């Protein structure tokens, strides 16, 4: 048909569960569905009849357990060692940046401090972490694309099981 349904803004999201490996992690390239709490993108490429005009992204981090004071520094060390790349297959990355610079205030954890008075509770960080692109990334139907997390080193075992979520924000057009 020639009719179109437009959703603007629309968010596709995918989540990496930290697993203590240094190998790159690929998101938005899912051969099967994940739990909806982890991803709403059950595809390996944009479906036929859809186009997605990406105008920004947000990255957030969620702990799976109480974090000791020392774990906070391990987290910051890890985020500094991960680079996010948005990649359309067979092209140079459309966007690339260190995750620590992207994440801003989107860290959610509750601390279990050794000394309560000295605790730095990262869950009170604030800030708008939507990174808006000057030039949009256009993904036409059946475009194979993904987000790659390049890691300089594996995460510390204390972070294994935590979640790093990437949200792609844009205009979704569906041919109906």
Q: Using one digit for the tens of pLDDT, what is the confidence trace for 131-169?
A: 899 999 999 988 899 999 999 999 999 999 999 999 999
pTM of the model: 0.86
Residues 6+ apart with CB under 8 A from 172: 6, 7, 8, 10, 12, 50, 51, 52
For residues 146 and 117, which has the higher predicted lDDT (pLDDT)?
146
Query: pLDDT at residue 117 above 60?
Result: no
pLDDT at 126: 46
Q: Using one digit for the tens of pLDDT, what is the confidence trace for 10-37?
A: 999 999 999 999 999 999 999 888 999 9
Asked if residues 21 and 146 have their Cβ atoms less than 8 Å apart, the reply is no
3-state secondary structure the chain: CCCEEEEEEEEEEEEEECCCCCCCEEECCCCCCCCCCCCCCCCCCCCCCEEEEEEEEEEEEECCCCECHHHHHHHHHHHHCEEEEEEECCCCCCEEEEHHHHHCCCEECCECCCCHHHCCCHHHCCCCCCEEEEEEEEECCCCCEEEEEEECCCCCHHHCCCEEEEEEEEEEEEEC
Q: Using one digit for the tens of pLDDT, what is the confidence trace for 46-103?
A: 889 999 999 999 998 888 888 777 888 888 889 989 999 999 988 888 999 999 888 8
Query: pLDDT at residue 123 above 80?
Result: no
pLDDT at 93: 85
């Amino acid at each position: 048909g020639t009719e179109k349904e437009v959703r603007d803004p629309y968010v596709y999201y995918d989540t990496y569960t930290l697993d203590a490996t240094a190998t790159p992690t690929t998101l938005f390239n899912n051969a099967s569905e994940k739990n909806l709490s982890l991803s709403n993108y059950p595809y390996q490429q944009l479906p036929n009849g859809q186009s997605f005009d990406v105008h920004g992204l947000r990255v957030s981090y969620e702990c799976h357990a109480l974090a000791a004071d020392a774990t906070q520094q391990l987290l910051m060390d890890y985020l500094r060692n991960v680079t996010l790349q948005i990649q359309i297959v067979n092209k140079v990355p459309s966007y690339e940046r260190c995750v620590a610079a992207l994440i801003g205030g989107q860290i959610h954890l509750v601390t279990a401090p050794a000394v309560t008075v000295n605790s730095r509770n990262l869950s009170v960080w604030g800030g708008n972490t939507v990174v808006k692109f000057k030039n949009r990334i256009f993904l036409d139907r059946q475009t194979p694309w993904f987000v790659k997390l390049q890691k300089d080193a594996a995460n510390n075992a204390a972070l294994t099981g935590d979640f790093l979520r990437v949200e792609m924000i844009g205009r979704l057009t569906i041919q109906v």
